[in-house]
């Protein structure tokens, strides 16, 4: 009966490859990069690549891993997790949603409970550590290419700059540069519990261990969190910034705040 069994992440990984998930999201094989031990999948066309992933062990679904040259790496579960907002699935937690995505690709019914042994193990391995990152402030003088490429102007950057930073993952030996980080928190004290990340070559994801269950990116751009009267929710921080820039003449009088969940709501959010 549908929903009457417990998901086994390890077993599902034997049936679902990173390439299966990537192709469903619109990635395609880059034949110019060659097909050998590694394959490259690209999102977008040759004139506008939004993302490129390199898949290792592509002939063995269970052993497949991926990495990006400008940051980000993992297995099929990591890849689903960073693209979770692209799948129309429900679940009481982020892990429940990931389990249901895997079940769909494996042609199995949705699940009612998670593999708690696996999720505890994975969570302990990826507990968020702020000391892992070098953090730099964003200013109008350091407007990066990625912001300009997406059409954001200086007014928009100035409005959000207190809620954006440059981050460098000191444990990433494949990329020694900075990405754009949108800090996640869940209280007024502003303690950072993760980052939504965007990179110059299309990389998008979250920092290892980011609290996606009860934290979010919150930008109260007028600095009056206690008296906010308009709250806008988005799937990404870039979406929030784009909405603000387009609608600024209409909403500038509001005491507003913007929230990015990096996907869909969890029960605790």
Domain layout of the chain by residue ranges: 9-125, 130-260
**Sheet strand arrangement including 165-169:** 133-137, 165-169, 179-183, 195-198, 204-206
Residues in the chain: 269
At 125 the three-state DSSP class reads: helix
Check residue 71 and report its DSSP letter. Answer: S
pLDDT at 140: 66
Beta-ladder partners of 231? 257
Distances (CA, A) of 22 to 46, 87, 161, 246: 17, 12, 32, 31
Of 115-119, 138-142, 259-263, least confident by mean pLDDT is 115-119
CB atoms within 10 A of CB 55: 22
- Over residues 16-35, the pLDDT tens digits come to 999 999 999 999 998 887 77
**pLDDT confidence bin for 147, thresholds 50/70/90:** confident
∠ CA 258-231-195, rounded to 5°: 30
At 168 the three-state DSSP class reads: strand
* Nearest to 7, CA basis, from 85, 89, 141, 98: 98
Per the CB < 8 A criterion, the answer to whether 54 and 39 are in contact is yes
**Mean pLDDT of the 118-146 span:** 73
**pLDDT confidence bin for 146, thresholds 50/70/90:** confident
- Over residues 223-268, the pLDDT tens digits come to 777 778 889 999 889 999 999 999 999 998 888 999 998 765 555 5
């Amino acid at each position: 009966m549908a929903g009457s069994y417990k998901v086994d992440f390890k077993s599902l990984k034997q049936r679902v490859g990173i390439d299966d998930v990537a192709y469903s999201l619109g990635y395609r094989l880059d034949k110019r990069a060659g097909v050998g031990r590694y394959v490259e999948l690209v999102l977008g066309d040759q004139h506008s690549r939004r993302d490129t992933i390199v898949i290792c062990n592509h002939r063995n679904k269970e052993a497949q891993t991926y990495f990006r040259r400008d940051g980000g790496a993992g297995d099929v579960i990591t890849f689903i997790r960073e693209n979770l907002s692209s799948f129309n699935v429900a679940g009481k937690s982020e892990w429940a949603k990931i389990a249901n995505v895997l079940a769909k690709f494996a042609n199995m019914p949705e699940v009612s409970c998670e593999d708690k042994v696996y999720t505890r193990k994975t969570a302990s391995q990826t507990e968020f550590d702020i000391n892992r990152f070098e953090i730099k402030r964003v200013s109008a003088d350091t407007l990066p290419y990625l912001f300009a490429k997406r059409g954001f102007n200086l007014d928009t950057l100035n409005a959000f700059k207190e809620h954006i930073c440059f981050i460098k993952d000191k444990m990433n030996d494949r990329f020694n540069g900075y990405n754009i980080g949108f800090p996640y928190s869940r209280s007024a004290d502003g303690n950072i519990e993760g980052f939504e990340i965007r990179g110059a070559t299309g990389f998008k994801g979250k920092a290892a261990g980011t609290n996606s269950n009860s934290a979010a990116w919150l930008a109260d751009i007028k600095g009056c969190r206690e008296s906010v009267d308009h709250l806008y929710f988005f799937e990404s921080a870039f979406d929030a910034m784009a909405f603000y820039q387009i609608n600024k003449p209409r909403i500038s009088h509001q005491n507003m705040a913007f929230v990015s969940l990096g996907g869909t709501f969890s029960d605790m959010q």
